[in-house]
Amino acid sequence: PKGVGILGIETYFPKTYVKQSDLEVFDKVGKGKYTIGLEQENMAFSNDREDIYSMCLTATHNLLDKYNISPKDIGRLEVGTETVLDKSKSIKSVLMQIFASGGNYNIEGIDTINACYGGTSALLNAISWIESSAWDGRYAMVVCGDIAVYAPGPARPTGGAAVVAMLIGRDAPLVFERGVRASHVENVYDFYKPNLDSEYPSVDGHLSINCYFRALDHCYNLYRNNFKQTYGETFSLDRTDYALFHSPFWKQVKKSYARMTYLDYLKDPTSARFSSVPHHLSQMETETSYTDKELNKVFSDLSSSSFQEKVESSSLLPKQLGNSYTASLYTGLTSLISNEREKLQDKRLLMFSYGSGMAATLFSVKVEKSVKDIVDRANVEERLSQRKSVSAEEYTQTLKERETFHSATNYTPTSSISELFPKTYFLEKIDGEKRRSYIRS
Ligand code: ACO
């Protein structure tokens, strides 16, 4: 089958956000720690009217509406998330209320969980289904997203919230390239959620950054080998038009692009483009190289104009929403197509997905048709401009309230529904058996 990939994208984010510059003052950290140190601008969050079920319901329903797709036309629905509410019960099953009202109960697929990676795994599953003998001619849908919240401390400004829903099928504008994709999966405890009564993870932030780079190294080396086998040519960053990354915070994306430039250097240190690189950097121990400041500076400087050209235009939503875990890479994709539009025609996008624990894949997408229609329906800039900034005090108080609401029984939310976009699902109540019900605004 030809042209299997993404036909449509809907990116949902809450209407409220907190400014990182306000949080710096409130948290009494040095000015610039979050805005310059992490390169984040704003962070999306939600109150007790929204949980992961409501946000996934909203994105799913909006995608069907915006693309005029009947619920009966979906044959597979995959969810990727790490925000778990009912443990054994999937988010997919909650989303079935939308399809049941259209008379469709015959939909394969279920939830996939591994930190920020579940969305990518869900996407790869959906693509495999369309390419397989089990395909029945209908579309697949992928819904990925999270509410990322951390306990007070250095990780808190790296939270965020969003859900991305994608329509998958043949003859798509965004087509998955064959024979190149590469994965790295390993058993590490860099970030996990052993405390099931809390929304907060246990996280070793600096270890998670090292793991991210290690996974990037392995995936990039494998991708290059696969590229050589498939096309008989050597791959370096020159061979891609854009590069997108899972973005826990934008500084990590910048460092990742510099790291890939370093990996290109290690493959070809005598190339003229690397003539200014001090020789000792080619001899550095891998573990040291992850955090070495000189190395990062040399390769950031060397790749800065290429970064502007190939990476910066995917920064809009990651910087405005924060880390949306499984949705993060796909908020980057939404940003890229919203910014570059027709310029993307026939271009290659290199995409890196990382989930702690850990699982990662580097893959690429070719733009084979116009993305104009996707951009128009996504309507990202207008919705961003309608958001409401909330003070750091109120944000902190809201997170405090979420701590009780997360595992509540017999609970009726009190937050106003006026702070929701139109056509947003919101929590009506949690009953005595912890069952949740929703209304669409
Ligand atoms: N002005 C400007 N820059 C500053 C300031 C300031 N006042 N203060 C600190 N900085 C810089 C630091 O120099 C550092 O920059 P560098 O990385 O270029 O050296 C940066 O800000 C971060 O400062 P640190 O002290 O290293 O940060 P801290 O230890 O407080 O926390 C961390 C950062 C580890 C990312 C934390 O937010 C965290 O644990 N987040 C969650 C885990 C995470 O996101 N991991 C990423 C991959 S896994 C995933 O997606 C969940």
Task: Give 372-393 pLDDT, tens digit per residue.
Answer: 999 999 999 999 999 999 999 9
Distance CA 360, CA 245 (A): 11
Q: Which residues pair with 350 in a beta bridge?
A: 243, 364
Distance 252 CA to ligand 1 centre (A): 9
167 lines ligand 1 (CB under 6 A): no
DSSP assignment of 75-116: EEEEEE-S--SSTTS-HHHHHHHHHHTTT----B--EE-BTB
Task: Parse the chain into domains and list their residue ranges.
Answer: 5-177+379-440, 182-369
Residue range 193-225, pLDDT digits in tens: 999 899 999 999 999 999 999 999 999 999 999
The DSSP output letter for 187 is -
**Rounded-to-integer distance, Cα 273 and Cα 312, Å:** 22
Query: Ligand 1 center to residue 157 CA distance, Å?
Result: 9
Give the CATH superfamily of 182-369.
Thiolase/Chalcone synthase (3.40.47.10)
Ligand 1 in contact with 208 (CB < 6 A)? Answer: yes
Query: Is 369 annotated as a binding-site member?
Result: no
Mean residue pLDDT across the chain: 97
| Backbone torsions φ then ψ of 207, nearest 5 degrees | -65, -40
Q: Which residue has a Cα nearest atom 10 of ligand 1?
A: 37
Q: How far apart are CA 276 and CA 272, in angstroms?
A: 9
The pLDDT value recorded for residue 293 is: 97
**pTM for the whole structure:** 0.98
Helical spans, DSSP H, in 101-167: 118-131
Domain 5-177+379-440 -> CATH class: alpha beta
- Report residues of the chain scoring pLDDT below 70: none
pLDDT in tens, 70-115: 999 999 999 999 999 999 999 999 999 999 989 999 999 999 999 9
pLDDT of residue 1: 76
* Sign of the Cα pseudo-torsion (333, 338, 339, 345, in order): positive
**Could you check whether 5-177+379-440 and 182-369 share the same CATH topology?**
yes
Active site residues per annotation: 82, 116, 246
Q: State residue 14's pLDDT score.
A: 98
User: Cα–Cα distance between 92 and 78 in angstroms, integer?
Assistant: 7
pLDDT value of residue 139: 98
